[in-house]
């Protein structure tokens, strides 16, 4: 379904019908990220509630793509809160305009490439990137836990980001 019914008419019955139609899609997305049946079921219910409130704030043209991004973002937030983060090159936000399927597919490929390439970094860079980006630790905390100096930590993070970007770009070219 490409176009949504009139969102301004106050009738939210259509959203229930759409959510019912895409329940299996939501569950699949949640299982992909959360890897737990109970957590995925809970996440689907939370996404239902979130969708009901968020749909009023956005002009949604492609509901399925928008709902996919809401589900993906919700799962990533849950993983971040549980410190089971998938490294992301950039934050993905809920789109407020039309989302094309090409960009969704590219984001998935990039995330997969990052997951594949992160272990290829040297141990110091991988550790510092993990602590800084995934565990949201500050430089001083990283210094305390690793024994590296502040300059070493900054260098490992900067060089690790650059090396990861190069590896991801190479990986994506090989996949094409």
The CATH number of whichever domain residue 104 belongs to comes to 1.10.10.10
Same domain, yes or no, for 92 and 104?
no
CA distance 98 to 68: 13
Question: What confidence score (pLDDT) does residue 155 get?
Answer: 92
User: What pTM did the predictor assign?
Assistant: 0.43
74 versus 81: the higher-pLDDT residue is 74
Q: Of 97, 132, 164, which residue sits at a domain end?
A: 97
Question: What confidence score (pLDDT) does residue 63 get?
Answer: 80
Mean pLDDT of the chain: 78
Q: Which residues of 135-168 are buried (b: 16+ CB within 10 A; e: fewer)?
A: eebebeebbeebebeeeebbebbebbbebbeebb
Tell me which residue range forms the domain holding 162.
100-176
Same domain, yes or no, for 58 and 35?
yes
Same domain, yes or no, for 80 and 114?
no
Average pLDDT over residues 15-31: 84
């Amino acid at each position: 379904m490409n176009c949504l019914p009139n969102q301004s008419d106050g009738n939210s019955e259509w959203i229930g019908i759409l959510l019912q139609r895409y329940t299996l899609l939501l569950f699949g997305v949640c299982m992909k990220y959360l890897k737990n049946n109970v957590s995925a079921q809970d996440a689907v219910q939370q996404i239902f509630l979130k969708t009901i409130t968020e749909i009023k704030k956005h002009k949604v043209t492609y509901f399925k793509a928008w709902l996919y991004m809401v589900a993906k973002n919700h799962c990533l937030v849950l993983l971040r809160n549980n410190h089971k983060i998938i490294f992301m090159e950039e934050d993905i936000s809920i789109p407020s305009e039309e989302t094309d399927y090409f960009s969704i597919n590219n984001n998935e490929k990039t995330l997969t490439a990052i997951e594949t390439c992160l272990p290829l970094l040297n141990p110091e860079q991988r550790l510092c990137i993990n602590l800084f980006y995934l565990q949201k630790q500050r430089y001083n905390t990283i210094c305390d836990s690793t024994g590296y100096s502040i300059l070493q930590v900054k260098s490992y993070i900067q060089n690790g980001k650059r090396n990861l970007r190069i590896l991801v770009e190479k990986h994506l070219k090989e996949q094409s």
